Amino acid sequence: MSSRILFRCGRLFTMTPGQAPLDDAGILVDADSGLVLDVAPYRALSGSVVEERVDYSEHTVAPGLVNAHTHLELSHLVGKIPPGGDFTDWVKKLLGLPLYELDETLLTAAVKDCRESGAAFVADVGSRNPSLVAKACDAHGLGLLHFAEVLGFARDGQAPALWPEPFLQYDEQYLQARVALAGHALYSTHPTALQTAKAWDKAASKPYSIHLAEHKGEDELLRTGKGEFAELLLGRLLPRDFRAPGLSPAAYADALGLLDEDTLAVHCVHLDDTDIRILAERKVTVCLCPRSNARIGVGRAPWEALRSAGIRICLGTDSLASNSDLNMWSELRFFLENFPTYCTVAEALTWVTSIPASALGIDGSYGSLEPGKRFQYSIVPADLAARDETSLKPRAGMV
């Protein structure tokens, strides 16, 4: 018989739809396969024959967290761009940094931090160093989906090659298991390339990711072709003859056919009511990166309106070029502190577990704790676990 471990949890959020949190719960795990065998009140499992017992009876346990948006290959830029300024300033500073000189020690430290702060899985957008990213994630038991990022225009102004060169080393099996394509953004990348990447993902039943409506300059550039951000990009990243589509970012993405239930729209800070309706109708999942948005001064996403429209929300840290760490609890804590409205701890947990797992197509293994799934868990920090429905209500004057 294979060896089994019994975990005792003071409180357990399984994140199985419809299941309320369980007090004094047990999780029986098959140590060899790493799969959950049973979840039940502890008293029902306490008599099980097990090799090991782990006591978390003083803690609140949740599934391992899913960081739906980061760029691990930028981990060497930690602390290089101080907070403040606006998005255009940030891009200018970023372009002046050694983007390609990945430091393996700093990458490993970032992955370790991610894992130790409760993340079980990351969706990592990159184009330069997938092998080093995978090596670091594998070494620390962090699940990984590479979003291979298509970015830019070819020299002749046409669509660039679909696959970033480092991804050409992978065989079909690796691509199928671990890779999807992502478009960088509407303002940076040939529309045909964005569409081709989406089509590849669709044919392979993969999620698609794109930075969308992150900052005012993007909105202005796409609606009018003008503005400080347009001036920065024209003749550099954007061809001189670039013509603005005359649409908002969300409307343009929709016109290109990029939005559907398998699309992760990242940031979504600058949306009007029509944009929100489009995202809701297309059943897009929105990945919010609240600390990154605040740090580089792009604004605050219309979270309440997204939620009211029934749009699925999840959280990502973005990279260490625009965040101080990759700790998903810190991301959630910041979010709750700055979006004070009615929500339960259970709902808040959906944004970092079940919703991103479903959006990324990994919910067969991640996102909830139930028999047959991979045993991956996190300990909910005491301050967050203690926030009951009453304490999550709006503070006076902040409704």
CB-closest chain residue to Zn ion = 318
| Minimum distance from residue 334 beta carbon to Zn ion (Å) | 17
Give me 242's structure tokens. Answer: 């670039």
User: In whole angstroms, what separates CA 356 from the centre of its chain?
Assistant: 7
- Of the pair 25, 296, the CB lying nearest Zn ion is at 296
Residue 37 beta carbon to Zn ion: minimum distance, rounded to whole angstroms: 38
Tell me the closest approach of the beta carbon of residue 214 to Zn ion, in angstroms: 8
Q: Between 14 and 88, whose beta carbon lies closer to Zn ion?
A: 88
Q: Beta-strand (E) ranges in the chain?
A: 4-12, 22-30, 35-41, 52-63, 65-70, 119-126, 143-150, 179-185, 208-212, 263-267, 285-288, 312-315, 377-380
List contacts with Zn ion (CB under 5 A). Answer: 318
- Closer CB to Zn ion, residue 143 or residue 183? 183
DSSP designation for 74: G
Amino acid (one-letter) located at 336: L
Minimum Å gap between C-beta 388 and Zn ion is 33
Contact 169, 132 (CB under 8 A): no
Q: Give the nearest distance from C-beta 354 to Zn ion in angstroms.
A: 22
Q: Which residue's CB is nearer to Zn ion, number 12 or number 315?
A: 315
Angle between helices 104-116 and 130-139 (to 10 degrees): 40
**Nearer Cβ to Zn ion, position 254 or 318?**
318
Query: Cβ closer to Zn ion: 36 or 298?
Result: 298
Q: Which residues pair with 39 in a beta bridge?
A: 27
CA separation, residue 204 to residues 57, 101, 134, 150, 200 (Å): 43, 32, 21, 17, 6
Least distance to Zn ion from the beta carbon of 13, Å? 28
Q: Determine contact, residues 148/178, Cβ cutoff 8 Å.
A: no
